[in-house]
Structure 1
Amino acid sequence: MPDASDLARQLARNAERVCRHYLPQGRRHGRYWLVGDVEGTPGRSLFVRLTGPNSGKGAAGKWTDAATGEHGDLLDLIAANQRHASLADTLDEARHFLSLPPPEPTSFEPLPPVPTGSPAAARRLWAMSQPIKGTLAEAYLRHRGITDLRGCGSLRFHPNCWYRTDAGDPPGTAEAFPALIAAVRDNDGDLTGVHRTWLDPTGNGKAAIATSRRAMGNLLGHGVRFGQPGPVIIAGEGIETMLSLRQILPQMPMIAALSAAHLAALQTPSNLRRLYIARDKDPAGINAAATLAGRAQAIGIETLMLDAMLGDFNDDLRQIGWEAMQAEVRVQLAPEDAELVIA
């Protein structure tokens, strides 16, 4: 009976048929299938290689989403497209697509343990999570005024994410909650960690726990990335802050560094020529923005600050409104970037 690697190779040998079935809104362009994202949205940022060797560089079935940095084989693509919660579901789906018989029952062998909080643990959690469309995570973001989630493949949802209680939690606090999961990636697009925002199961904002946000993995210098990388980006601290800016600048690449300390240490891409810093209005945010700006300017990167009218841009979006925020941000942008603000 074929294992996961065998199934991936069989799928790769039928790469175009896989794409036509799971990504029917895409189209073939030479040796690639082009589509917008793993869910099959029309577009061109995700490309699947249709021909090539069985393994190694240029292998058939390998795909990359240039907008999010995600990549993988056709098993990964099917898992994301079908929002599977487990590898077993994906393997069953692949066997059904390939018209293979179900596997013979085998004894359960748990995965070997990995260090808690390590990049390996982060990659496992990311693999177990699902796209956010139609989930409590999408509802949470909509409640924060964030409705346009194009180019946000770096966000996923886990329905029952483990939570380690701390001293601030009352006795009897649950050990798991639904969670918004965000991928932390380096400048090469490799996943180095994840960020978790635990959510109230009733849909009423974040979970009522002492620490509703935590990150794991290798975070320093990296961030949660939105949009296709380019020579101009906006960097800031919070996920909701950057997603709020994306409501008026959906074509602008952005990075959420997750904290003031990590914003100050953010590693800038080698092709960056202009950096906007979404500056939080607190001492830590102001100092982090100044530190990052100094580092960027020292290597010849033009640096400009973006300031919210209130505490941060999500406050602006929810309390002042989309149009007022749009007008305020537009005047802080370079003229060529101001054209990207949607009307």
Structure 2
Amino acid sequence: MSVSDLARSLAERAETVCRVYLSRGRRQGAWWCVGDVLNHPGRSLYVRLTGDRAGKWTDASTGEHGDLLDLIAINRGLDPASARDEARAFLSLPQVFPRHQPVASGSSDAAQRLFRQGQPLPSTLAEAYLRARGITGRLDLPALRFHPALWYRPHPDAPRQSWPALLAAVTDGAGRITGLQRTWLDRDRPAKAPIVTPRRALGHLLGNAVRFGPVADLLAAGEGIETMLAVCSALPTLPVVAALSANHLAAFDFPPGLVRLYVARDNDPAGRTAVERLIARGAAQGLEVRPLLPGGEDFNADLLRFGPDWLRGHLAGQLVPDDARRVFGHRGRG
């Protein structure tokens, strides 16, 4: 059964999927409502149960979205291949539901087109925004671009607004753009735009990430763009990736040849959960996964509060000694 067939079959059983994987939620009309994709209580995440968009879900608090195959992967902390195995096992249940037409999967093509419309970051509002976040490292990075006037709607029926935006390309292991994160920016100062959801992602994110630097056998992975650019500012020779959320970090596809993965986690329950899931997945695949702990809420906050020299020493003390020598050359922890 193909990936699209799996997603369609899960959508046909949308309510049953929700009752199994999102058991703390409840049905409200044509929707299943719960706190988040990890099944915490609340009402931020909603899954469409009927109609042409059955199986599609959105988390209103984070902007994350996807189909039920994505949901199972994040909920169980699985890589895409293991998520497909989980879905196949689930679909072996003897249940019969009406069939719906397949739902169009994604917007990777839209992400690629939009990224091509951007321009290099230097001397733009996007560069000013990141510098205001304390980022001192290089920003002429292939994964980042600037769009001077990107459309924004707070909800589908609202009139369009135009704001400048930072574009970050999400890529798979082969370097193909599969998604995009858009961060809308204020026109007059180096900050996010004063809108309801200034950060949104589109396309296929599961297993993929925004990548800074070529990966060999060492890699640092974390959640946000600013967090991982802060790590780059302190450790410029260490390749890093930003998975864009704790849920997607937990499901990140390990690159081939990777020996050790450092996880630059945020200092919150979601960050701890992501590390635990990556450690378990790494152990099953013979990969060492080690957390990097911030001093405060995250590494960008540390950079802003203490500066790059402090952050460099703080991170160096958490690296395996051989890795520290490689990252710093002959400079040690200085």
Q: Shorter chain as normaliser: what TM range?
A: 0.5 to 0.7
CA apart distance, 1:153: 1.4
What percent of counterpart residues are identical?
49
Tell me the amino acid that sits aligned with residue 141 of structure 2: C
Q: Deviations over 1:192-241 (max 9, x none)?
A: 01100000011230000110100000110000000111110000001100
- Aligned with 1:271 (options 257, 277, 295): 257
Establish whether residue 291 from structure 1 lines up as the match of residue 277 from structure 2.
yes
4+ runs deviating over 4 angstroms: none
Q: How does 1:122-137 map to 2 (within 5 A)?
A: 122-137=111-126
Cα 1:240–1:296, aligned 2, differ >3 Å: closer, same or farther?
Answer: same
Q: Which position in structure 1 is the counterpart of 2:186?
A: 200
Classify the secondary structure of the residue corresponding to 1:247: helix
Alignment check: 8 A CA contact 2:278 2:289 kept:
no
Question: Of 219, 240, 243, which residue of structure 2 is paired with 1:257?
Answer: 243
Q: Secondary structure at the match of 2:291?
A: strand
Code of the residue aligned with 2:108 in structure 1: it is: P
Give the Cα–Cα distance (whole angstroms) in 2 for the partners of residues 179 and 318 of structure 1. Answer: 22
- CA shift for structure 1 position 124: 0.6
Of 300, 311, 318, the residue aligned with 1:332 is 318
Contact 1:151 1:226 in 2 (8 A): no
Q: 2:147 aligns with which of 136, 144, 158?
A: 158
Letter in 1 for 2:119: Q
Shift of 1:321: 1.9
Instruction: Output the TM-score relative to the length of structure 1.
Output: 0.63
Other-structure match for 1:144: 133
Any conservation in 1 of the 2:227–2:298 contact (CA below 8 Å)? yes
- SS of the residue 1:304 aligns to: strand
Structure 1, unmatched stretches of 5+, are 1-114
Number of aligned residue pairs: 226
Matched residue, 1:63? none
- Alignment partner for residue 227 of structure 2, among 226, 237, 241? 241
Asked if structure 2 preserves the Cα contact closer than 8 Å seen for 1:166 and 1:210, the reply is no
1:117: Cα distance to partner? 6.2
The match for 1:108 is none
Matched AA of 2:206: L
Secondary structure in 2 matching 1:211: coil
Cα deviation 1:144-199 (Å, max 9, x = unaligned)? 011222562100000011112139x9x98x61210000000001111101100000
**Secondary structure of the residue that 1:324 maps to in structure 2?**
helix
- Separation of aligned partners in 1, 2:221 and 2:124: 27
Cα RMSD (Å) of the superposition?
2.0
**Alignment check: 8 A CA contact 1:137 1:180 kept:** yes
For residues 235 and 111 of structure 2, the distance between their equivalents in structure 1, rounded to whole angstroms, comes to: 29
**Counterpart-to-counterpart distance in 2, 1:157 and 1:144:** 16
Provide the C-alpha distance between the structure 1 equivalents of 2:257 and 2:162, rounded to a whole number of angstroms: 41
CA distance in 1, matches of 2:106, 2:302: 34
In 2 relative to 1, CA 139–204 (structure 1 residues): closer, same or farther, beyond 3 Å?
Answer: closer
Please state whether the residue corresponding to 2:267 is helix, strand or coil: coil
1:320 shift after superposition: 1.7
Please state how far the C-alpha of 1:116 moved relative to its aligned partner.
Answer: 10
Whether the 8 Å CA contact 2:261–2:289 is kept in 1: the answer is: yes
**Residues 256/160 of structure 1: CA separation in 2 closer, same or farther (3 Å cut):** same
What is the alpha-carbon distance in structure 2 between the residues aligned to residue 150 and residue 158 of structure 1? 15
Q: Contact between 2:228 and 2:242, CA under 8 Å: does it hold in 1?
A: yes
Whether contact under 8 Å (1:179, 1:197) holds in the other structure is yes
Contact 2:121 2:139 in 1 (8 A): no
Name stretches of at least 5 consecutive residues in structure 2 with no aligned partner.
1-103
Match of residue 323 from structure 1: 309
